[in-house]
Protein backbone atom coordinates (compact mmCIF):
# COMPACT_ATOMS: atom_id res chain seq x y z
CA UNK A 1 0.00 0.00 0.00
CA UNK A 2 1.35 3.44 -0.97
CA UNK A 3 2.23 5.68 1.96
CA UNK A 4 0.15 8.88 2.14
CA UNK A 5 1.73 12.10 0.99
CA UNK A 6 0.12 13.97 3.90
CA UNK A 7 -1.09 12.47 7.20
CA UNK A 8 -2.94 14.69 9.68
CA UNK A 9 -3.27 12.95 13.05
CA UNK A 10 -5.55 14.25 15.84
CA UNK A 11 -4.65 17.87 15.13
CA UNK A 12 -6.03 20.64 17.34
CA UNK A 13 -5.47 24.38 16.98
CA UNK A 14 -6.51 26.58 19.91
CA UNK A 15 -6.47 30.35 20.28
CA UNK A 16 -6.95 32.63 23.26
CA UNK A 17 -6.52 31.79 26.95
CA UNK A 18 -5.86 28.32 28.32
CA UNK A 19 -8.95 28.59 30.56
CA UNK A 20 -11.34 29.51 27.74
CA UNK A 21 -9.66 28.50 24.49
CA UNK A 22 -11.19 28.96 21.06
CA UNK A 23 -11.03 25.46 19.58
CA UNK A 24 -10.69 26.37 15.91
CA UNK A 25 -9.64 22.80 15.03
CA UNK A 26 -10.47 20.00 17.46
CA UNK A 27 -8.88 16.57 16.93
CA UNK A 28 -8.94 16.26 13.13
CA UNK A 29 -7.38 13.27 11.33
CA UNK A 30 -7.19 12.47 7.60
CA UNK A 31 -4.72 11.53 4.87
CA UNK A 32 -4.06 12.63 1.29
CA UNK A 33 -2.42 10.28 -1.20
CA UNK A 34 -0.06 11.46 -3.97
CA UNK A 35 -2.15 12.95 -6.78
CA UNK A 36 -5.38 12.85 -4.74
CA UNK A 37 -7.78 15.75 -4.33
CA UNK A 38 -9.55 15.99 -0.97
CA UNK A 39 -12.34 18.53 -0.42
CA UNK A 40 -12.98 20.20 2.94
CA UNK A 41 -16.47 21.69 3.25
CA UNK A 42 -18.51 23.35 5.98
CA UNK A 43 -20.05 26.64 7.08
CA UNK A 44 -17.99 29.77 7.56
CA UNK A 45 -16.15 29.65 10.88
CA UNK A 46 -16.00 25.85 11.12
CA UNK A 47 -12.17 25.80 11.00
CA UNK A 48 -11.48 24.95 7.35
CA UNK A 49 -9.02 27.77 6.67
CA UNK A 50 -7.32 27.32 10.05
CA UNK A 51 -6.72 23.66 9.22
CA UNK A 52 -5.20 24.68 5.88
CA UNK A 53 -2.95 27.17 7.67
CA UNK A 54 -1.89 24.45 10.11
CA UNK A 55 -0.86 22.19 7.22
CA UNK A 56 1.22 25.07 5.85
CA UNK A 57 2.77 25.72 9.28
CA UNK A 58 1.24 29.19 9.36
CA UNK A 59 -0.18 28.59 12.84
CA UNK A 60 0.95 26.52 15.81
CA UNK A 61 -0.59 23.18 16.75
CA UNK A 62 -2.07 22.66 20.19
CA UNK A 63 -1.94 18.87 19.85
CA UNK A 64 -1.42 16.28 17.15
CA UNK A 65 0.96 15.66 14.27
CA UNK A 66 1.12 16.61 10.60
CA UNK A 67 3.41 14.33 8.59
CA UNK A 68 4.46 15.11 5.02
CA UNK A 69 6.16 12.17 3.31
CA UNK A 70 6.33 10.53 6.76
CA UNK A 71 8.20 13.49 8.31
CA UNK A 72 6.59 15.48 11.13
CA UNK A 73 6.55 19.09 9.92
CA UNK A 74 5.94 20.47 13.43
CA UNK A 75 9.60 19.80 14.22
CA UNK A 76 10.94 21.55 11.11
CA UNK A 77 12.90 24.78 11.41
CA UNK A 78 15.06 26.99 9.24
CA UNK A 79 16.25 25.36 6.03
CA UNK A 80 14.18 22.21 6.63
CA UNK A 81 10.97 24.26 6.96
CA UNK A 82 11.89 26.20 3.83
CA UNK A 83 12.33 22.88 2.03
CA UNK A 84 8.85 21.79 3.13
CA UNK A 85 7.34 25.05 1.91
CA UNK A 86 8.84 24.27 -1.48
CA UNK A 87 6.86 21.01 -1.50
CA UNK A 88 3.60 22.51 -0.21
CA UNK A 89 2.09 25.73 -1.53
CA UNK A 90 -1.13 27.67 -1.02
CA UNK A 91 -3.65 29.34 -3.34
CA UNK A 92 -5.57 32.04 -1.50
CA UNK A 93 -9.24 33.04 -1.67
CA UNK A 94 -8.60 36.71 -2.49
CA UNK A 95 -6.31 36.83 -5.55
CA UNK A 96 -5.84 40.60 -5.31
CA UNK A 97 -4.97 40.60 -1.60
CA UNK A 98 -2.49 37.77 -2.19
CA UNK A 99 -0.44 39.90 -4.61
CA UNK A 100 1.73 42.92 -3.82
CA UNK A 101 0.06 45.88 -5.52
CA UNK A 102 3.44 47.66 -5.87
CA UNK A 103 5.17 44.71 -7.52
CA UNK A 104 4.77 43.56 -11.12
CA UNK A 105 3.40 40.06 -11.42
CA UNK A 106 6.58 38.96 -13.18
CA UNK A 107 8.64 40.13 -10.24
CA UNK A 108 6.32 38.23 -7.88
CA UNK A 109 7.08 35.01 -9.78
CA UNK A 110 10.80 35.75 -9.93
CA UNK A 111 10.84 36.37 -6.17
CA UNK A 112 9.56 32.82 -5.51
CA UNK A 113 12.25 31.40 -7.80
CA UNK A 114 14.97 33.49 -6.14
CA UNK A 115 13.97 32.62 -2.59
CA UNK A 116 14.17 28.89 -3.36
CA UNK A 117 17.16 29.29 -5.71
CA UNK A 118 15.45 27.54 -8.59
CA UNK A 119 17.27 27.57 -11.92
CA UNK A 120 20.14 29.75 -13.16
CA UNK A 121 19.48 33.45 -12.65
CA UNK A 122 19.54 34.24 -16.38
CA UNK A 123 16.89 31.57 -17.07
CA UNK A 124 14.37 32.58 -14.41
CA UNK A 125 12.60 35.08 -16.65
CA UNK A 126 12.03 32.32 -19.22
CA UNK A 127 10.71 30.05 -16.47
CA UNK A 128 8.27 32.77 -15.35
CA UNK A 129 7.08 33.14 -18.94
CA UNK A 130 6.54 29.37 -19.17
CA UNK A 131 4.49 29.46 -15.95
CA UNK A 132 2.30 32.19 -17.41
CA UNK A 133 1.68 30.08 -20.49
CA UNK A 134 0.90 27.05 -18.30
CA UNK A 135 -1.96 28.92 -16.63
CA UNK A 136 -3.29 30.43 -19.86
CA UNK A 137 -1.80 33.94 -19.70
CA UNK A 138 0.28 35.83 -22.25
CA UNK A 139 3.94 36.17 -21.10
CA UNK A 140 3.85 39.74 -22.46
CA UNK A 141 1.80 40.61 -19.36
CA UNK A 142 4.65 39.83 -16.93
CA UNK A 143 5.53 43.51 -16.51
CA UNK A 144 1.99 44.54 -15.58
CA UNK A 145 0.73 45.23 -12.05
CA UNK A 146 -2.07 43.29 -10.29
CA UNK A 147 -4.67 46.06 -10.77
CA UNK A 148 -4.33 45.70 -14.55
CA UNK A 149 -5.81 42.17 -14.47
CA UNK A 150 -9.31 40.80 -13.95
CA UNK A 151 -10.17 38.64 -10.94
CA UNK A 152 -9.87 35.43 -12.93
CA UNK A 153 -6.51 36.49 -14.38
CA UNK A 154 -5.21 37.37 -10.91
CA UNK A 155 -6.18 33.93 -9.65
CA UNK A 156 -4.30 32.39 -12.57
CA UNK A 157 -1.27 34.42 -11.48
CA UNK A 158 -1.69 33.08 -7.92
CA UNK A 159 -1.77 29.55 -9.31
CA UNK A 160 1.36 30.25 -11.39
CA UNK A 161 3.17 31.51 -8.28
CA UNK A 162 2.19 28.38 -6.36
CA UNK A 163 3.47 26.21 -9.23
CA UNK A 164 6.76 28.12 -9.52
CA UNK A 165 8.56 25.90 -6.99
CA UNK A 166 7.21 22.57 -8.35
CA UNK A 167 5.18 21.59 -5.25
CA UNK A 168 3.60 18.18 -4.66
CA UNK A 169 0.78 19.46 -2.43
CA UNK A 170 -1.40 22.55 -2.89
CA UNK A 171 -3.81 23.89 -0.29
CA UNK A 172 -6.48 25.75 -2.25
CA UNK A 173 -8.41 28.00 0.15
CA UNK A 174 -11.73 28.72 -1.61
CA UNK A 175 -9.88 29.60 -4.83
CA UNK A 176 -13.00 30.35 -6.90
CA UNK A 177 -15.48 31.77 -4.38
CA UNK A 178 -14.50 35.39 -5.19
CA UNK A 179 -14.88 34.88 -8.95
CA UNK A 180 -17.79 35.15 -11.38
CA UNK A 181 -19.57 31.86 -12.06
CA UNK A 182 -18.43 31.83 -15.70
CA UNK A 183 -14.81 32.24 -14.60
CA UNK A 184 -15.07 29.62 -11.85
CA UNK A 185 -15.41 26.76 -14.34
CA UNK A 186 -12.33 27.94 -16.25
CA UNK A 187 -10.22 28.01 -13.08
CA UNK A 188 -11.52 24.62 -11.92
CA UNK A 189 -10.71 23.07 -15.29
CA UNK A 190 -7.24 24.62 -15.12
CA UNK A 191 -6.67 23.12 -11.65
CA UNK A 192 -7.81 19.68 -12.84
CA UNK A 193 -5.54 19.85 -15.90
CA UNK A 194 -2.55 20.90 -13.81
CA UNK A 195 -3.21 18.11 -11.32
CA UNK A 196 -3.22 15.53 -14.08
CA UNK A 197 -0.10 16.92 -15.78
CA UNK A 198 1.96 17.41 -12.60
CA UNK A 199 0.51 14.70 -10.30
CA UNK A 200 -0.46 17.33 -7.73
CA UNK A 201 -2.33 16.58 -4.51
CA UNK A 202 -4.97 19.10 -3.41
CA UNK A 203 -6.54 19.99 -0.09
CA UNK A 204 -9.45 21.91 -1.58
CA UNK A 205 -11.26 24.15 0.92
CA UNK A 206 -14.73 25.25 -0.21
CA UNK A 207 -18.31 25.85 0.86
CA UNK A 208 -19.80 25.13 -2.57
CA UNK A 209 -20.63 21.42 -2.73
CA UNK A 210 -20.96 21.47 -6.52
CA UNK A 211 -17.39 22.76 -6.83
CA UNK A 212 -16.06 20.07 -4.49
CA UNK A 213 -17.92 17.34 -6.34
CA UNK A 214 -16.40 18.49 -9.64
CA UNK A 215 -12.81 18.61 -8.40
CA UNK A 216 -12.36 16.15 -5.55
CA UNK A 217 -11.89 12.40 -5.11
CA UNK A 218 -12.98 12.49 -1.47
CA UNK A 219 -14.95 14.91 0.72
CA UNK A 220 -14.51 15.80 4.41
CA UNK A 221 -17.43 17.61 6.08
CA UNK A 222 -16.36 19.84 8.97
CA UNK A 223 -18.42 21.28 11.83
CA UNK A 224 -17.08 23.28 14.80
CA UNK A 225 -13.51 22.16 14.17
CA UNK A 226 -14.30 18.44 13.74
CA UNK A 227 -14.79 16.09 10.80
CA UNK A 228 -18.35 14.78 11.05
CA UNK A 229 -18.53 12.82 7.78
CA UNK A 230 -16.17 11.67 5.05
CA UNK A 231 -16.47 9.64 1.86
CA UNK A 232 -16.48 9.83 -1.92
CA UNK A 233 -18.52 12.57 -3.64
CA UNK A 234 -21.11 9.99 -4.76
CA UNK A 235 -21.49 8.61 -1.23
CA UNK A 236 -21.70 12.01 0.44
CA UNK A 237 -23.91 13.85 -2.05
CA UNK A 238 -26.25 11.01 -3.02
CA UNK A 239 -26.81 9.60 0.49
CA UNK A 240 -25.61 11.95 3.25
CA UNK A 241 -25.80 10.28 6.66
CA UNK A 242 -24.92 13.04 9.11
CA UNK A 243 -27.78 15.49 9.76
CA UNK A 244 -25.38 18.40 9.25
CA UNK A 245 -24.39 17.13 5.81
CA UNK A 246 -28.07 16.65 5.00
CA UNK A 247 -28.74 20.25 6.03
CA UNK A 248 -25.88 21.56 3.89
CA UNK A 249 -27.19 19.71 0.85
CA UNK A 250 -30.81 20.72 1.41
CA UNK A 251 -29.71 24.37 1.54
CA UNK A 252 -28.36 24.20 -2.04
CA UNK A 253 -30.93 25.88 -4.33
CA UNK A 254 -32.58 23.49 -6.80
CA UNK A 255 -33.98 25.71 -9.54
CA UNK A 256 -35.98 22.98 -11.31
CA UNK A 257 -37.55 21.71 -8.09
CA UNK A 258 -38.32 25.26 -7.02
CA UNK A 259 -40.10 26.01 -10.30
CA UNK A 260 -42.17 22.83 -10.01
CA UNK A 261 -43.09 22.91 -6.33
CA UNK A 262 -42.48 26.43 -5.12
CA UNK A 263 -40.17 26.55 -2.10
CA UNK A 264 -38.37 23.22 -1.82
CA UNK A 265 -38.55 21.40 1.49
CA UNK A 266 -35.29 21.56 3.40
CA UNK A 267 -33.85 20.30 6.66
CA UNK A 268 -33.89 23.42 8.82
CA UNK A 269 -31.31 23.84 11.57
CA UNK A 270 -32.04 25.39 14.95
CA UNK A 271 -30.30 28.57 16.03
CA UNK A 272 -26.89 29.84 14.94
CA UNK A 273 -23.46 28.24 14.85
CA UNK A 274 -22.15 28.20 18.46
CA UNK A 275 -19.00 30.13 19.30
CA UNK A 276 -15.83 28.07 18.95
CA UNK A 277 -15.04 28.88 22.59
CA UNK A 278 -18.28 27.22 23.77
CA UNK A 279 -17.92 23.79 25.36
CA UNK A 280 -20.79 21.55 24.31
CA UNK A 281 -21.43 18.25 26.11
CA UNK A 282 -22.20 15.28 23.91
CA UNK A 283 -22.40 15.71 20.15
CA UNK A 284 -21.29 19.26 19.19
CA UNK A 285 -24.11 19.40 16.65
CA UNK A 286 -26.97 18.38 18.96
CA UNK A 287 -28.13 21.95 19.93
CA UNK A 288 -29.02 22.57 16.26
CA UNK A 289 -29.93 19.05 15.15
CA UNK A 290 -33.65 18.37 14.49
CA UNK A 291 -33.04 14.64 15.03
CA UNK A 292 -31.16 14.88 18.35
CA UNK A 293 -31.90 12.30 21.05
CA UNK A 294 -30.95 12.09 24.72
CA UNK A 295 -27.86 10.03 23.88
CA UNK A 296 -26.67 12.85 21.61
CA UNK A 297 -26.69 15.22 24.59
CA UNK A 298 -24.64 12.89 26.75
CA UNK A 299 -22.09 11.12 24.49
CA UNK A 300 -19.70 12.54 21.91
CA UNK A 301 -19.88 10.32 18.81
CA UNK A 302 -16.63 9.03 17.33
CA UNK A 303 -15.89 9.17 13.62
CA UNK A 304 -16.40 5.55 12.55
CA UNK A 305 -16.81 3.53 9.37
CA UNK A 306 -20.34 2.75 8.24
CA UNK A 307 -20.25 1.45 4.66
CA UNK A 308 -17.78 1.59 1.79
CA UNK A 309 -15.23 4.31 2.45
CA UNK A 310 -17.76 6.32 4.47
CA UNK A 311 -17.06 7.54 8.00
CA UNK A 312 -19.68 9.32 10.10
CA UNK A 313 -19.62 10.88 13.57
CA UNK A 314 -23.29 10.38 14.48
CA UNK A 315 -25.08 8.07 16.91
CA UNK A 316 -27.93 7.68 14.39
CA UNK A 317 -25.70 6.37 11.61
CA UNK A 318 -25.20 2.70 12.35
CA UNK A 319 -22.55 0.57 10.56
CA UNK A 320 -23.98 -1.06 7.43
CA UNK A 321 -26.87 1.40 7.26
Residue-wise pLDDT for 130-147, tens only, equals 999 999 999 999 999 999
Residue-wise pLDDT for 9-59, tens only, equals 999 999 988 888 889 999 999 999 999 999 999 988 889 999 999 999 999
Residue-wise pLDDT for 224-258, tens only, equals 999 999 999 999 988 899 999 998 888 776 544 54
In the chain, how many domains are there?
Answer: 1
Nearest-10 Cα torsion for 226, 232, 235, 237: 70
Residue 70 lies in a domain: yes
Between the CA of residue 120 and those of 110, 127, 134, what are the distances in Å? 12, 10, 20
Res. 127 pLDDT band, cuts 50 70 90: very high
Residue 231 lies in a domain: yes
Q: Is residue 267 predicted with pLDDT exceeding 90? A: no
What average pLDDT is seen over the chain? 89
Q: How many helices (H) and strands (E) does the chain have?
A: 11, 12
pLDDT of residue 250: 81
- The mean pLDDT value for 165-172 works out to 96
Residue 320 lies in a domain: no
Residue 127 lies in a domain: yes
pTM of the model: 0.90
pLDDT of residue 104: 96
Residue 319 lies in a domain: no
Residue 321 lies in a domain: no
- Phi first, then psi: give them for residue 237, nearest 5 degrees: -80, -30
CATH number for the domain spanning 19: value is 3.40.50.300
- Phi first, then psi: give them for residue 115, nearest 5 degrees: -60, -40
Question: 52: exposed, middle or buried (C-beta count within 10 Å: 0-12, 13-18, 19+)?
Answer: buried
pLDDT of residue 208: 84
Residue 58 lies in a domain: yes
Q: Please check whether residue 19 is in contact with residue 183, taking contact to mean a CB–CB distance below 8 angstroms.
A: no
Residue 1 lies in a domain: no
Long-range contacts from 125-134, C-beta under 8 angstroms, 24+ separation:
127/164, 128/164, 131/160, 131/161, 131/163, 131/164, 132/160, 134/160, 134/163, 134/194
CA distance linking residue 244 with residue 277, whole number of Å: 20
Res. 266 pLDDT band, cuts 50 70 90: low
- The mean pLDDT value for 110-118 works out to 92
CA distance linking residue 56 with residue 96, whole number of Å: 20
What range does the domain containing 78 cover? 6-312
Residues above pLDDT 70, as percent of the chain: 93
Amino acid sequence: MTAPLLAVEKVSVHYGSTRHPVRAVDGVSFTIAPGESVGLVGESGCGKTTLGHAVMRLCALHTGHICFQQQDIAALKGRALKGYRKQAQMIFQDPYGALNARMTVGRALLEALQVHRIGPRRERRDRAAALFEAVGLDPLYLDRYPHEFSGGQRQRIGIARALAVDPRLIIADEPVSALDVSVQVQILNLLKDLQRERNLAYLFVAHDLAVVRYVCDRILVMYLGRIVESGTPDEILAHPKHPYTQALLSAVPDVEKGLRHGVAKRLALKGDVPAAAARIHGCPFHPRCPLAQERCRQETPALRATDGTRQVACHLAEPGS
